[in-house]
Structure 1
Amino acid sequence: MTAQIMVAFEGEGSGVDDLSWGQLDLWMAMRRQNSWLPMGGATPLPDGTALTDVVDNLRYLMSRYQPMRTRLRFDADGRPSQVVSSSGEIALDVIDAGDDDPAEVADTLRRTYEETDYDFEAQWPLRMGVVLRDGLPTHLVAIMCHLVTDGSGAAVMIAESGARVTTPVRGMQPLEQARWQRSPAGVRQNEAALRYWERLLRTIPARRFAGSDDPRTPRHWRGEFNSPALHLATRAIADRAGMDASPVLMAVYGVALHRITGINPVVFRPTVNNRFRPALADVVCTVAESGLCALDVAGVPFAEALARTQRAAMTAYKHAYFHPVDLDDLIARVARERDPDFDLGCFYNDRRITTRTGSTGPAPTPDQIREAHAGDRTTFRWTIQQDDPFERLFVHIDDVPDTVRITVFMDTHFVSPADAEAFLFGMETVAVEAALDLVPQPG
Structure 2
Amino acid sequence: MNASSEQPDGTTELTVRAARGGRGPATWGQRAVHAALVALGPDAPRYNLRTAAPVEPGLPPQTALRAFAELLHLHDALRTRLVEEDGDLVQEVDADGVLPVAVLHRASAELAAGAAAELLARFAARPFDLPGEWPVRLGLVLVDGLVRQVVLVLSHTASDGWGMRRAARDLTLLAAGRSADDLRAERAFAQPLEEAAEQDSPRGRRRDAAARRHWRDKLGSGPRVQLPRPDGEPDPERRFPLAVLRSPELAAALPAAAARLRTGDATVLLAAAATELGRLGGQRELLFQVVVGNRFTGQAAEAVTTLAQEGLFHLPELAEEFAETVRRCQGPALAAYRHSGYHKPRLDAELAALRAGGAELADHSVIWNDTRDPLAASMPDGTGEAPAVERELSFPDTFPARLGVSVAVDVVAVPGAIELLMVADGALLDRARMARFLCGVEQLVLEAAEAPEASEASEAPEAAEASVDADGRRESMDSRRP
TM-score bracket, normalised by the shorter chain, equals 0.7 to 0.9
For 2:269 and 2:230, locate their aligned partners in 1 and report how far apart those are by CA, in whole Å.
Answer: 25
Structure 1, unmatched stretches of 5+, are 358-371
Q: How does 1:293-442 map to 2 (within 5 A)?
A: 293-336=313-356, 342-354=362-374, 377-386=391-400, 391-413=405-427, 415-438=429-452
**1:399 offset after TM fit, Å?**
2.0
**Kept in 1: contact 2:113–2:149 (CA 8 A):** yes
For 1:83 and 1:206, locate their aligned partners in 2 and report how far apart those are by CA, in whole Å.
Answer: 42
Change (3 A) 1:50 1:380: same
Which deviations, in whole Å up to 9, do the C-alpha atoms of 1:37-89 show, x marking residues without a partner? 11121111111321112211221222211110011212365x53221111101
TM-score (norm 2): 0.79
For 2:90 and 2:423, locate their aligned partners in 1 and report how far apart those are by CA, in whole Å.
Answer: 29
**Kept in 1: contact 2:288–2:367 (CA 8 A):** yes
**Kept in 1: contact 2:23–2:193 (CA 8 A):** yes
**Kept in 2: contact 1:154–1:284 (CA 8 A):** yes
Partner of residue 366, structure 1: none
Partner of residue 198, structure 2: 180
For the pair 1:204 / 2:214, whether they are aligned, the reply is no
**1:27 offset after TM fit, Å?**
1.8
**Kept in 1: contact 2:245–2:391 (CA 8 A):** no
Structure 1 stretch 326-335 or stretch 20-29: which is displaced more?
A: 326-335
Pick aligned residue for 1:24 from 18, 31, 40: 31
For 1:212 and 1:3, locate their aligned partners in 2 and report how far apart those are by CA, in whole Å.
Answer: 55
For 2:263 and 2:442, locate their aligned partners in 1 and report how far apart those are by CA, in whole Å.
Answer: 19
For 1:97 and 1:391, locate their aligned partners in 2 and report how far apart those are by CA, in whole Å.
Answer: 43
For 1:31 and 1:355, locate their aligned partners in 2 and report how far apart those are by CA, in whole Å.
Answer: 32
Q: Which amino acid aligns with 1:423?
A: F
Pick aligned residue for 1:52 from 62, 67, 84: 62
**1:354 offset after TM fit, Å?**
4.4
Q: How does 1:236-247 map to 2 (within 5 A)?
A: 236-247=256-267
Pick aligned residue for 1:116 from 101, 110, 126: 126
Which deviations, in whole Å up to 9, do the C-alpha atoms of 1:339-362 show, x marking residues without a partner? 5575422221211124999xxxxx
Partner of residue 93, structure 1: 102
TM-score (norm 1): 0.85
Which deviations, in whole Å up to 9, do the C-alpha atoms of 1:251-303 show, x marking residues without a partner? 11111111122233211111222222585342221122111111245342111
For 2:83 and 2:191, locate their aligned partners in 1 and report how far apart those are by CA, in whole Å.
Answer: 18
For the pair 1:154 / 2:168, whether they are aligned, the reply is no
The RMSD of aligned alpha carbons is 3.0
Q: Which amino acid aligns with 1:115?
A: A
Q: Which amino acid aligns with 1:197?
A: W
For 2:163 and 2:438, locate their aligned partners in 1 and report how far apart those are by CA, in whole Å.
Answer: 28
Change (3 A) 1:356 1:137: closer
Q: Which amino acid aligns with 1:251?
A: A
Which deviations, in whole Å up to 9, do the C-alpha atoms of 1:176-213 show, x marking residues without a partner? 22233222212211111222222212111123432369
Q: Which amino acid aligns with 2:416?
A: D
**Kept in 2: contact 1:11–1:62 (CA 8 A):** no
Q: Which amino acid aligns with 1:74?
A: E
Partner of residue 474, structure 2: none
For the pair 1:258 / 2:272, whether they are aligned, the reply is no
**Kept in 1: contact 2:159–2:305 (CA 8 A):** yes
Structure 2, unmatched stretches of 5+, are 1-7, 175-179, 378-387, 455-482
For 2:431 and 2:243, locate their aligned partners in 1 and report how far apart those are by CA, in whole Å.
Answer: 9
Change (3 A) 1:32 1:405: farther
Change (3 A) 1:241 1:271: same
**Kept in 2: contact 1:21–1:287 (CA 8 A):** yes
SS at match of 1:48: strand
For 1:30 and 1:243, locate their aligned partners in 2 and report how far apart those are by CA, in whole Å.
Answer: 36
For 1:294 and 1:71, locate their aligned partners in 2 and report how far apart those are by CA, in whole Å.
Answer: 36
SS at match of 1:406: strand
Identity %: 26
SS at match of 1:83: strand
For 1:341 and 1:318, locate their aligned partners in 2 and report how far apart those are by CA, in whole Å.
Answer: 21
**1:215 offset after TM fit, Å?**
6.0
SS at match of 2:56: coil
Change (3 A) 1:32 1:265: farther
Q: How many residues align?
A: 423
Q: Which amino acid aligns with 2:11?
A: Q
